[in-house]
Chains A and B, each alone.
Chain A
């Protein structure tokens, strides 16, 4: 967009930094994939509940009262927790480090902090 790109100082330097553009791309792909995965997991489960509930009534093992539905329900909660763990792990290790590098490299001109 050519609408008033009035970035100044550190903002302008960050925007033009290849490292920043690359980080943003990488993080965006990572974040939206996890988001879509969570939605797929949840709405997939929901879809089964709404349209093929008989599938959930299948015993988890022969002769059991515990059925696929209970296992699937618990799995949705546990898997979504694992997904948040994966996100936080990578963000804290990789993305935070790159962001710190970008901020140091582009210089901290005090005006931005006011």
Chain B
């Protein structure tokens, strides 16, 4: 297997565009993609979703007058709405397609993935939600730099934000490209570009307001769609999970191993590293940013409660979808190629399942929703990258808070376009990876940088600028290096024989390292600045607990 891989990935890296254009139509032609291909129903749904999101953007664009409108939707989002939007961020393409695909392939291991995706939410609620809203303005970086030295902390924390966002974007772009390629037989490259352009339009014109409402709309649609599929599956089995699982075990090549952990988690270090990713789920900048779109801490709290419910429900259903797909797709040859593989790859079982239970129209609906999902999540990621650049770096570091609103927003919009271009390019380079793993990379970086820094900034008086910036940077570098040396990049993408770092995620080493190094560098910091920063903790503490002085709260 290794021999076969060793030359092809290198050439893939050298000629990505060539390979892509050559491969995309070839794949579609060889598999044929029977009537699931370019059905008019699917195209109609697809266009419907695009038009709807553009209408939302148009509506939002007329309401964007200030920085707060652009970055924080004017703080007018309610708890339930924000809950849906946050849930929407987690119900990503990786969730709908990647997770159900994983359950389809591995059974129980897929469920562990689902649980990890949900468990970040209670962590956010208990540790962050209210405190973020009370301390920050537009980004989590505001909170970290509350009592620390603005310039170094903002530069460093924005770098973390941008790294996480860009890596996360890769997974989304890959998902988008593959989905559109299978459904509409548009070459992967054009598909990825289409996503880049649409997302750019939402964010440039509609800011956070459009981003939030696109996300809410999609969250409602995806919950409806997934509920319907789960209902149809359960109806097929007389609403008996037992019957469903029995049939799945009978049909799956894993047999009874389908129902127990194995595969990915046959080794404790990998499993624990993976499970520590829940702290990364709690450190994703584009999700943390949503806590600034509500009026106060109370609404922030409520939003994460609703979000936990929606996401939990969604991932439980995702497991049912994966199991259902094992049984329902099994006797339908049209979903498999000549070699017996699922057409379109490991991310496609959910889409085929939609066709099997609901026909052309429903498959069109689910595909359109999956596409909307990608657009909405990508838009959220992009606005969070844009705010890191325009708010944290330009307005606060370069202009020291004196940036003219117009220039700041212009820079933000230019960043959006730059991020779009970068996302498209990266989406092409990474097209052969499973998207659930790529999201894992981003979450891993967030777990080892954003999470420890945010926790220490909020709860630990002793944190100093030196600890946060130098300690955090060391952790960022270490984490990214180990990820690059892990099998997914070192072997599969760079084409070396053996990975320098044997595990998929380094979290078990790097998360404790981050806390330790930040702690050491902070307690040994004897500078006058460090003294002032520790002294300012009381005032920050009062504000984080009570919300006194927060805009939007003091007037009722």
Say if the beta carbon of B187 comes within 8 Å of chain A: no
* CA distance in complex: A66, B118 (Å): 22
Q: Is the CB of A31 within 8 A of B126?
A: yes
Q: Is the CB of A69 within 8 A of B108?
A: yes
Beta-carbon nearest neighbor of B79 in chain A: A88
CB contact list, B241-273 vs A, under 8 A: 241-242, 245-246, 249, 256, 259-262, 265, 268, 271-272
Q: Is the CB of B308 within 8 A of A87?
A: no
Q: Is the CB of B302 within 8 A of A51?
A: no
* CA distance in complex: A113, B268 (Å): 51
Q: Is the CB of B461 within 8 A of A1?
A: yes
* CA distance in complex: A91, B545 (Å): 12
Q: Is the CB of B118 within 8 A of A46?
A: no
State the interface size on chain A (CB cutoff 8 A).
57
Q: In the complex, which residues of chain A have a beta carbon less than 8 angstroms from the beta carbon of B298?
A: 91-92, 96
* CA distance in complex: A49, B108 (Å): 10
Q: Is the CB of B127 within 8 A of A35?
A: yes
Contact pick for B316, options A4, A46, A77, CB 8 Å: A77
Q: In the complex, which residues of chain B have a beta carbon less than 8 angstroms from the beta carbon of A27?
A: 545
Type the 1/0 row for A58-99, where 1 means its CB is closer than 8 Å to any CB of B.
000000111101100110111011011101100110001001
Q: Is the CB of B546 within 8 A of A49?
A: no
Q: Is the CB of A14 within 8 A of B305?
A: no
Q: Is the CB of A80 within 8 A of B308?
A: yes
Q: In the complex, which residues of chain A have a beta carbon less than 8 angstroms from the beta carbon of B261?
A: 49-50, 53, 56, 69
Q: Is the CB of B532 within 8 A of A43?
A: no
CB contact list, B531-552 vs A, under 8 A: 531-532, 534-536, 538-539, 542, 545-549, 551
Q: Is the CB of A102 within 8 A of B123?
A: no
Say if the beta carbon of B527 comes within 8 Å of chain A: no
Q: Is the CB of B242 within 8 A of A103?
A: no
State the interface size on chain B (CB cutoff 8 A).
57
Q: In the complex, which residues of chain A have a beta carbon less than 8 angstroms from the beta carbon of B365?
A: none
Total residue contacts A-B, CB cutoff 8 A: 160
Say if the beta carbon of B278 comes within 8 Å of chain A: yes
Q: Is the CB of B539 within 8 A of A11?
A: yes
Say if the beta carbon of B505 comes within 8 Å of chain A: no
Contact pick for A84, options B125, B265, B531, B532, CB 8 Å: B125
Say if the beta carbon of B115 comes within 8 Å of chain A: yes
Q: Is the CB of A50 within 8 A of B548?
A: no
Say if the beta carbon of B301 comes within 8 Å of chain A: yes
Closest CB-CB distance, A61 to chain B, in whole Å? 9
Closest CB-CB distance, B285 to chain A, in whole Å? 21
Spell out B's residues near A (CB within 8 Å): 108, 111-112, 114-115, 118-119, 121-123, 125-127, 130, 241-242, 245-246, 249, 256, 259-262, 265, 268, 271-272, 275, 278, 298, 301-302, 304-305, 308-309, 312, 315-316, 319, 461, 531-532, 534-536, 538-539, 542, 545-549, 551, 554
Q: Which 3 A-B pairs have the closest CB atoms?
A: A4-B535, A3-B535, A35-B126
Known: A50-B268, A53-B261. 16 other contacts (CB 8 A): A11-B542, A11-B548, A35-B122, A38-B122, A46-B272, A49-B271, A57-B259, A65-B242, A67-B259, A67-B260, A69-B259, A69-B260, A70-B245, A77-B312, A77-B316, A99-B545
Spell out A's residues near B (CB within 8 Å): 1, 3-7, 10-11, 14-15, 20, 23-24, 27, 31-32, 34-35, 38, 42-43, 45-46, 49-51, 53-54, 56-57, 64-67, 69-70, 73-74, 76-78, 80-81, 83-85, 87-88, 91-92, 96, 99, 102-103, 108, 112-113
